[in-house]
Amino acid sequence: MVQIVAPDGANISYSVLDLAGTYSLSSPIHKTNAKIDLPGDVHTALLANGEIPDPYFASNEKAVMWVNERAWAVERQFVATPDQINGYLTLTLSEIDCIAKVFLNGEAIASAQNAFIRYDIDVSGKVLEGKNTLRIEFGITRDVAKARAEAHPFPIPFTNNYKTNGLAGIHMNFVRKAACHAGWDWGICLMPIGVYGTMSLRKSRLARQDSVQVDQNHSKRAVELTIKTSVFAFASGDIELTHTIGGQTVADKVSVSMGENVFHHTVTIKDPDLWWPAGQGGQPLYELTTELDGEKTVRKLGLRKARMGR
């Protein structure tokens, strides 16, 4: 097992191990030798392996319906060096679609049931030096939705748009997944399964960035930006937090407690280069760089005050 160095250990620097790539694909009731590239989805993998026809051709929607009626699993091995695990570790998996369990080296470490969010899983002490195995087992989303609907104390109707091409329809109002995946007047019912976002192992000295939010307050010739940074700390201590935008830098040494922490900083940009809608001017974007103990994230912002008129 990895030994966690004290939070104030100066020898720990932020790093990321990318876990995207080729995974094995399996199902308990369907034999396949297909590989799946993640981020990606099961249908694309089966199509590339010649196991299903093009779902969008003719009436193939029905011919491939069996894919979303089965459970699937993806798995890969990855190698971690001593330096990559010498710190606090976060397994980041974004946009897992949709009902799934995540296993690391055979241990269940997380359950997912929302395709719209990022899962940051604390795996400190669980990643081994050398070979590791990451596995994601996907449940059958349509069955979960149906069971939840039947268990609900009163019936909740769902739109007939889901009942395309004579299909039974899926209770999409009981799962957090793109509604159009179950069919719409303009699209077929596929109910895809996969992972569509970031897959990585992040190493931190003491804390990690969770989110950065920017609010704008416009005056006649200036805009004040309030930068709200959410930080997750694995233990108590001090961190260096820096924001840079429009040629200005705000650097701060702040104390964190274990768990969620929120910090606010302000930057005023004078005579800002404003963003305009298409056809009314340019669309200049300011680059906001946020750095926390070596973890750097970059966002692009358009500065503009907007008001909805009635």
Round the average pLDDT of the chain to a whole number and report it: 93
Which structure tokens are listed for 195? 């992972």
pLDDT 10s digits, 250-268: 999 999 999 999 999 999 9
Which structure tokens are listed for 77? 């091995």
3-state helix, strand, coil in the chain (%, to 5): 15, 45, 40
pLDDT 10s digits, 176-201: 999 999 988 788 999 999 999 999 99
Domains of the chain: 15-200 (2.60.120.260), 207-301 (2.60.40.10)
| pLDDT for 186 | 84
Q: In 25-138, which residue ranges form alpha helices assigned H by DSSP?
A: 42-48, 60-63
Residue 88 pLDDT > 90: yes
Beta strands 107-112 and 100-104 are antiparallel
| pLDDT for 5 | 44
| DSSP states along 24-45 | EEEBTTB----EEEESEEHHHH
Which structure tokens are listed for 228? 């709200």
Residue 163 pLDDT > 80: no
Cross-strand pairs, 107:
104
Q: Which of 168, 165, 148, 164 is nearest to 156 (CA)?
A: 148
Report residue 269: phi and psi, to 5°. Answer: -110, 115
pLDDT band at 230 (very low <50, low <70, confident <90, very high): very high
pLDDT band at 12 (very low <50, low <70, confident <90, very high): confident
Residue 92 pLDDT > 50: yes
Query: Side-chain half-sphere of 131: how many Cα atoms within 13 Å?
Result: 4
Residue 1 pLDDT > 50: no
DSSP 8-state code for residue 271: S
